[in-house]
A and B are shown apart, each in its own frame.
Chain A
Amino acid sequence: MSVAASSNMNMKFLYAGIAIALLIAIAAPFLASPDPDGLESAAGSIVEESKLAGMEESAPFVESPMPDYSIEGQGKMGEVAAVVAGTILVLGISFVLGKAAKKN
């Protein structure tokens, strides 16, 4: 297989990958379980209530622009926008970093 043809196939893989990632990103806010994850559930069941309340009240070290994958006041559409934006951001950073790091 020629390098050019193979490279073309990998670009197709890239587009397919992006399409799948975006579909998951759009569906995630509607499908994702609101239940806490394993670590939070464990904290809820084994950490004393007073201590847990203190931990939950403490602010994060750095405030994030879109906490909890949402945009304030934008409801479900804001969540979709947030996850889609994150997906595109990760894609862009990985692509640029990969291009910068790769051997010449």
Chain B
Amino acid sequence: MHTTSASTTLDESQPLLLSHFDDLEQQHNASNLGMWFFLATEVMFFSGLIAAYTVYRALSPEAFHLASRHMNRVLGFVNTLVLLSSSLTMAMAVRESQLGNKKRVVWFLVATAVLGVGFLGIKAVEYSIEIHHHLLPGAHFQIPSEDLTEMKEVSSTPEELGLLKGRFQMMFVLYFFLTGVHAFHMIVGIVIVLIMANLMRIGWFSGHGTTQIEVTGLYWHFVDVVWVFLYPLLYLID
């Protein structure tokens, strides 16, 4: 006979079993598998964008070449390091939650969030530099003078220059869109990580919250992996 297990689970280390699951293993598997398939959705989402990027890069390599020189490779590299370290701290948080060290979990989660905020901070610096140089597509978009000179060398009429400008801008459209969508995922991730840390701190989870931390970890690692693809694609390919 099935009963609500809340009243029966007295052992603190055992997580709460939701009433529609048979046992803890099933509950844990469901959460994990759910996150994996959610990530499959995310992969398809990004791959649609990356397909668009690839097509246009192939269509107008010269403009993309000029535009990609404005990517801040150093900051991008630093950011990659920051993000990879956050993956490490996240992995540590998962590990500690499996071992049941709640305090450490909280600290590693906070560290992960701090690194995530660091990433966004650096990204914001990059954006602000780019916006300062009028590289944000829109009304204030302006082609840097050295590129303009170079474009003027290869083109001889305002019309052809306009076409090059359009393609030059397209690279920035895709850059801001891809990194923007990624940053949005980061923000979501940071919020979740902080919520998890707080719930962990107040002892909200029955058991050690292992499942929840693992699932959060999956998401966090995925967002990092996306960046690992974006960085070479946007900054390094030339």
Q: Do A and B come from one complex?
A: no
Q: Residues of A at under 8 Å CB distance from B?
A: none
